[in-house]
Amino acid sequence: MKAKVKTSLIITTYNWKEALKLTLDSVFMQNVLPDEIIIADDGSSSDTKDMIKEYAKKSQTPIIHSWQEDKGFRLAASRNRAIAISKYEYIIIIDGDIILHPKFIDDHIRLSEKEIYLQGSRVLLNEESSKKMLENQKFERPHIFSRKFKNRINFFYSPLLAKLFYKTKTNSHNGVRGCNFSFFKSDIIKINGFNEDFNSWGREDSEFVERLFNIGVQRRNLKFRGVQYHLFHNEGKANSFNDSILNKAINEKLKWCENGIDKHLKK
């Protein structure tokens, strides 16, 4: 049996403390807790800070609030700042509007592997059920035949079935989701982290993953494990500038971004 890796869970957020509460509640229901929790906050107001402080007081797992000034969409910088201060070798990144299956962290840890990044998937909750959960501050797992969610296949949890999918390695961008992926911190540093040239939604995850591919890291998909439920919200659409950054990384087989995590690392 391999030794358990030490893990930093990074949760991205921006001014949606009601959703973040549900996410944190699901973290504390895990059968295996991360070694630290870092909230990567892209400039939320003080009520989010106050809520995080309350959770930190009662948590046996350290909770660090990594906050940056609100200067528009700066998800890449927010993630880089959080990764830079993380203490542990394995990084799991989720969004702050996600509810985790109780074995989510355990699954990512158990399946972690050098030169592999794990790409999880999600169940998409509908608007009505998400609103109810946010109002009640309580997660209600939908029944398998319910109409309250999409991506029905991702609902199933089965380590046995997961083994069939986990064997496959790929370098595909299809279904890259920053709300559910994990990697070794050393691989993140090798490519200089997330590209902070992205200043609007879209393609930042795919461009990051492309540079991982270009240093020899391969993707493995978590199917039937690493299950999570995504609260409803409208998604943006990538613009042509973001597309051009991704295409440059693909066409030029880039391994490094100039505007990355190095500026946040202690010298």
Give mean pLDDT, residues 62-88: 97
State if pTM tops 0.85.
Answer: yes
Is the per-residue pLDDT at 44 higher than 70? yes
Token readout for 150 is 């999409």
pLDDT at 159 over 60: yes
Find the range with the poorest average confidence among 69-73, 121-125, 176-180: 121-125
Cα dihedral value 108, 110, 112, 113, nearest 10:
-160
Residue 151: is its pLDDT beyond 80? no
What is the per-residue pLDDT for 160?
A: 79
- Is it the case that residue 144 has pLDDT exceeding 80? no
Residue 252 and residue 179 in contact, taking contact as beta carbons nearer than 8 Å: no
Instruction: List, in order, residues 6 or more apart from 70 with CB less than 8 Å away.
Output: 42, 43, 44
Query: Which DSSP string do the residues of 123-177 spell out, in sequence order?
Result: EEE-HHHHHHHHHHT---PPPTT-SSEE-GGGG---HHHHHHHHT-EE---TT--
Domains detected in the chain: 7-264 (3.90.550.10)
124 token code pair: 């998409």
| Average pLDDT, integer, range 186-196 | 98
Q: Give the separation between CA 75 and CA 263, rounded to whole angstroms.
A: 15
Cβ-based neighbour number of residue 2 at 10 Å: 8
Mean pLDDT of the chain: 92
Question: Does residue 1 carry a pLDDT above 60?
Answer: no
Q: Is residue 218 predicted with pLDDT exceeding 80?
A: yes
Mean pLDDT of all residues in 15-26? 97
Mean pLDDT of 77-102: 97
- Confidence band, pLDDT 50/70/90 cuts, at residue 145: low
pLDDT over 70, % of the chain: 94
SS3 182: strand
